[in-house]
Structure 1
């Protein structure tokens, strides 16, 4: 049996006195987009990625217009393992977080960096100094530095592993959980305006 999954995007409309009302923006109907795990707004629409997939046609970066129709796809130069989230830096750089690890067995996780105008993303491999962790949330600091949020209550330090095929590696980065999350996992994260508030998919809200 074939399942069809519809994804509805919900927007926020500004109202007087600071009130906000949700409304339906568009509906994703492309049958390649069956398990969206990361989404960000662009100037003309949205950019999305699927969760890890066995189908090659689903393992791409998809750009959508304002009506949620696919207008462009970008392929990875090698197979991603489990893409979970993404974010767009202020300079337009797109970061895709290939960080899913449900069984906590990956020796490295990965970030894919797609610079404005680039035809393919560049792979960066990282490892945790205290062993594997599952993660599904990516935050971007105001400087554009990507921050991976693991599904645990304690902070994690990331360090660059030896990059495969001489690909660039990220510098050592220390991060910490911004607030006590009451032992609830963070699945996705977004940085609010003006860049100080952080929300973690209804599980946690705090400030950096």
Structure 2
């Protein structure tokens, strides 16, 4: 029994040490705290001009909150249809957001729903246009809804422990019938929200403690950063300048602006490292309108930009396992019985 306890302790130590010494941390800037006591489970998040738009997690009525830079709610939009499990927001147009009623913990819904809802200063009740979406491979739980900044096309990311999937909605959705999603590709697990960056070449998916930058549309992980500790982080958004913001569940929860580490900023800015291989990795010119006219997700591809590859943090993990080796020796000596 004692050996099992020791083994468990070693595994935990390896994880904690490897995480603690790995780089990629960012410095948060506390922008505001939600002052409205009705905002108790901030899940989705969108930056709309100088306003922050958020919505509560499942269990609330159909409503979204427009919050100013001081954390005060300046407008609430409600709609008549009671949502089943609202989990996400995505930008639609200035003064409008997409609301993702996409949660499905039991993976039992025949269809999920998105609605295009106006938002801004002042309270209003609306009857928004709604669209049903159907997965090509059966129901999934999801908490991330993204809108491509150039085409406006919607993407849903499933929330799965060992790896989710990005699905694309049709370019033109029909409000009268189910709209079939198309599988784009795999991503990491436990995705609680996501956003496209303004360049359209990258998207950022967050979990409860990390954010991963993916190139688009090939969905290659190119950078990663640890997020600040939050009660239950389920919101991430980007403004027009490329600044990232994250929110969390909880009453008077803070909204944080991120300052990513240099390597992540370089990836998002398209900075090429000095040591670049040959011209075989040079950017490929865009093929023009022929690709953009396709209904495939690749049709959302903007002109290529140089890409910095994410590199595994080998030295940090070696250092972690070095410390772990010392722990092993100490534990073995402590457990050794005298003869």
The bucket for the TM-score relative to the shorter chain is 0.7 to 0.9
In the alignment, the residues of structure 2 paired with residue 68 and residue 131 of structure 1 have an alpha-carbon distance, to the nearest angstrom, of: 39
Instruction: Please state whether the residue corresponding to 1:176 is helix, strand or coil.
Output: strand
Counterpart in the other structure of 1:48: 54
Counterpart in the other structure of 1:192: 197
In the alignment, the residues of structure 1 paired with residue 75 and residue 118 of structure 2 have an alpha-carbon distance, to the nearest angstrom, of: 15
Pairwise mapping of residues 1-208 of structure 1 onto structure 2 (< 5 A)? 22-53=28-59, 55-56=60-61, 59-90=62-93, 92-114=95-117, 119-141=126-148, 142-152=150-160, 153=163, 155=165, 167-169=175-177, 171-177=179-185, 180-181=187-188, 184-201=189-206, 202=210, 204-208=212-216
Structure 1: state its 5+ residue gaps. Answer: 1-19
| Structure showing greater relative contact order (alpha-carbon pairs closer than 8 Å, 6 or more residues apart) | 2
Structure 2: state its 5+ residue gaps. Answer: 1-25, 217-339
Asked if the contact 1:112/1:122 (under 8 Å) is kept, the reply is yes
In the alignment, the residues of structure 1 paired with residue 119 and residue 187 of structure 2 have an alpha-carbon distance, to the nearest angstrom, of: 36
Structural RMSD (CA): 2.9
Question: Which is richer in strand?
Answer: 1
In the alignment, the residues of structure 2 paired with residue 93 and residue 143 of structure 1 have an alpha-carbon distance, to the nearest angstrom, of: 15
TM-score (norm 1): 0.74
In the alignment, the residues of structure 1 paired with residue 184 and residue 89 of structure 2 have an alpha-carbon distance, to the nearest angstrom, of: 19
Alignment coverage as a number of residue pairs = 179
